[in-house]
Structure 1
């Protein structure tokens, strides 16, 4: 058995019924117990995005969200959606929506816990995330260590490096005929230049680049949707129908079962928005706020922007243009869809620029996540030398990621992502009463303040 076959077997276990049930079940439980918080409190969450800092922390709430979004808005929004629909059919998009809807409640809970249980490290920086609420909330140091190990694994071998670098390299080669080694060298140098400045420099880049690139991509998608507006409703009907019905082979599409649509849709949804993965809480913990609930609300908008908005845009563009059943795959499929709204060159450039920007910021975000997990594992016993070791390994993996086969990369990324989810969801379930208590106390306090204002 070769390495890829072995990894495929491991991946089938990691993303088996237990993990899927744990992931969706946790989100479903929180959705019910929190009273559809992701729907009813979404307007409040959006209004809190630009609220002035009112507590200790390293970043503003908006900067913390942008740092988290820099890691989530990446190849999953372009290549991941295309891969999901190619393998699972249009129905996979429905299961991405479902994972995102329940995932918003999960994202709220994990980011709220991150602020509640955060602490300060030896250098005076905010330290938080699943490893801290697992240790300080549940008292399970060994489980916190397991999460941190998997976190470093995802940063090194999952979302953080290979998938992003390979996507950038392929896009630059196809669009501009740039040699792979040149892309690897330039990208490694750029990442090194930004990450040396730490989380504040990463956040500064993210605050400028994330909103701009997301808005530009959405506008490009809207252009295609307007051109094919008569196909939008049929596309939605196809998504719903194929989510529960096997899709026969057509063109370059090999056909898909409902089970395939569910598995690939949820897996790619998590890859894209990272709800339940435990990554966003690491950034959320650094927010300058004294209200854990408020940062939880702000953070859950990340899943809304990432999947409900951007992934849906990509999915609809792929479906209404009909390229999903063609012979192309990955970024090439998305390029072909955009080419339907103009020239092939324009389509190629739109996808290439979006992909490069999305993937670059994802690398920056995951460099930070991995470094905090590394710091937790070493307990800063190695000091700055330990940080330098982490950064050296990370940069070496970026340099080499462009030369690894795409199929192997996605398989490896899915596997390590799944491993990271398990200890984090165990912690959220174990601390569910804390989540509910903090949430109800916060909204009761808001209601009392509002009532007093009306009386006066």
Structure 2
């Protein structure tokens, strides 16, 4: 039943909704995600002030902490086993379209943010749904699904994927979950400052380490790289036989799973980036901070696409994706075992997954905290944090297929609600963006006055 519901969401909501919205925003903002990546890197070095604020680098690290989770490893293995190599191509498409969606959401999240009682900014889809679209009920529903997704996607899925390979060493999933709960509790109970520091240290290290080891394997299997890329493209566009029933179903499955993994890996349209970029502060004259943070937010889908692609190509060149009886994380462990010709080396994935899972869990916890704060006030945050940490060992023992099905459904529901906000306010985003970058005349009434419109120097861009 859950699998059927998940497929329904993927075919009838994820594909047309996100794909169409991404294409529409890309065309209306003239391919911004392709043109402004160099600007994003230049803006990334800006500093923030205040204890309850993040730097731009801290915000990107936090977003990547949530994005670079088990979905980039075990999720890609699942996409290959279910949708075939062609799903990787459609994942690339989703990531590129997702970059402009992430820009739009982050722009709105910063534009409609508010000062909290702690002295820092808070923002996200719930704020622009309520303040700009006058939909307070939908804002509350979004927060509820954020809390549910944090427990399923950001908690159960992460620890469950780490627990799978460690059972081979005789480590009980509950013990692993309890150990992870201690580390996560230390980070999230330390507030925004400790969360930011953990993200800025661990995320770059885990990303560079995983990329380096993956590149080493690809160098060893360099003869198989071009055939693997050819297989990805031909599987994505199997025009010769696509008019047969089986082939058409296979093609649709590749599109569905590629888009679903792209969504899951980059949180495209889900609404995490608007929450995580809202605390960023700096003051330099010239451009609205909402535009600056929107541009910076486009970096994370690019990084995620690189990591996911490396995982997928490694699985193909080593042949691990066709090994019978392997699922999820264990398939990736087998790929690294083959790549390094060592049984123990295969568990590089296990170590990497542990850190991927840890930062993803803490990122989702932070985003859920903002949802709890919006619904129930600041005092309720600690209660939710204790519940969240307590559930980590339980997630380690959950059934893998059930966990992934519930996670996909909850994320899709978050995405639908957030996309209502983004599309409902798309005129504002499009006209302010085009007015700044392409010197078009912004329409009156689309640029509301806000007292927190910090700016950065145009000349420095």
TM-score (norm 1): 0.90
User: Which residue, 288, 295, 315 being the options, matches 1:318?
Assistant: 315
User: Which residue, 97, 100, 106 being the options, matches 2:92?
Assistant: 97
Structure 1 vs Structure 2 CA RMSD: 2.4
Q: Distance in 1 between matches of 2:239 and 2:352?
A: 32
The 3 A distance-change label for structure 1 pair 401 and 209 is same
Q: Distance in 2 between matches of 1:353 and 1:371?
A: 27
2:110 is matched with which residue? 115
Superposition deviation, residue 9 in structure 1: 3.0
Indicate if the aligned counterparts of 2:188 and 2:194 stay in contact, CA closer than 8 A.
Answer: yes
Superposition deviation, residue 63 in structure 1: 0.4
- Residue 234, structure 1, aligned to residue 227, structure 2: yes
1:48 is matched with which residue? 43
* Higher alpha-carbon deviation: 395-404 or 285-294: 285-294
The superposition leaves residues 288-316 of structure 1 with CA deviations (integer Å, 9 ceiling, x where unpaired) of 24611111111110010012x10011011
The 3 A distance-change label for structure 1 pair 452 and 21 is closer
The superposition leaves residues 352-374 of structure 1 with CA deviations (integer Å, 9 ceiling, x where unpaired) of 11111101100000000111111
Indicate if the aligned counterparts of 1:56 and 1:288 stay in contact, CA closer than 8 A.
Answer: no
2:424 is matched with which residue? 430
1:8 is matched with which residue? 3
The superposition leaves residues 190-219 of structure 1 with CA deviations (integer Å, 9 ceiling, x where unpaired) of 111111012221110000000000000000
The 3 A distance-change label for structure 1 pair 399 and 452 is closer
Identify unmatched segments of 5+ residues in structure 1: 249-253
Superposition deviation, residue 444 in structure 1: 5.6
Q: Distance in 1 between matches of 2:315 and 2:3?
A: 27
Secondary structure of 1:349's match?
helix
The superposition leaves residues 13-49 of structure 1 with CA deviations (integer Å, 9 ceiling, x where unpaired) of 3223233211111111111111111111111112221
Q: Distance in 2 between matches of 1:452 and 1:182?
A: 54
Q: Distance in 2 between matches of 1:73 and 1:247?
A: 36
1:367 is matched with which residue? 365
Deviant stretches of 4+, over 4 Å: 54-57, 449-453
Superposition deviation, residue 56 in structure 1: 10
1:402 is matched with which residue? 396
- Residue 137, structure 1, aligned to residue 128, structure 2: no
Secondary structure of 2:280's match?
coil
Q: Distance in 1 between matches of 2:75 and 2:260?
A: 9
TM-score (norm 2): 0.89
Superposition deviation, residue 256 in structure 1: 6.7
Indicate if the aligned counterparts of 1:246 and 1:258 stay in contact, CA closer than 8 A.
Answer: no
- Residue 25, structure 1, aligned to residue 17, structure 2: no
Identify unmatched segments of 5+ residues in structure 2: 242-246, 284-288, 441-455
User: Which residue, 375, 383, 390 being the options, matches 1:389?
Assistant: 383
Indicate if the aligned counterparts of 1:57 and 1:288 stay in contact, CA closer than 8 A.
Answer: no
Superposition deviation, residue 120 in structure 1: 1.0
Q: Distance in 1 between matches of 2:397 and 2:266?
A: 26
Q: Distance in 1 between matches of 2:361 and 2:293?
A: 23
